[in-house]
Amino acid sequence: MSVLVWILYDIVDDKARTKVAKACKKYGLIRVQKSVFLGKLESNRFDELGEKCLSLIDEDTDSLYLFPFCQEDFRRVKVLGQGFDRKLVNDEILAKFF
């Protein structure tokens, strides 16, 4: 079963931040802000990506959030203001999720 996933992070080290972004992309997530990814993952892949990210960050200085959403909850998400970085996200990508 797949779940919709938001990943948000604040990572101090450039190399670690780049590795986390590459991991998110490898798992098929789409960057929607500089430090925010969105996508669908199989449930077991959600936990796998969480473990991968944990191995890349410094728990003393960094923050990383993985938010799973069911489709019903995701439809209730409100995007206010600019919402997404339009250099990264176009309407075709948004249509996959909203």
CA–CA gap between residue 37 and residue 98 (Å, rounded): 15
Provide mean pLDDT across the span 66-90.
78
Given a cut of 90, is residue 44 above it in pLDDT? no
pTM (two decimals): 0.83
* Residue found by looking up tokens 């990210």 in the block: 53
**CATH number of this structure's domain 2-95:** 3.30.70.240
Averaged confidence pLDDT in the chain: 88
- Rg of the chain's alpha carbons, rounded to an integer? 13
- Other C-beta atoms closer than 10 Å to the C-beta of 38 total 25
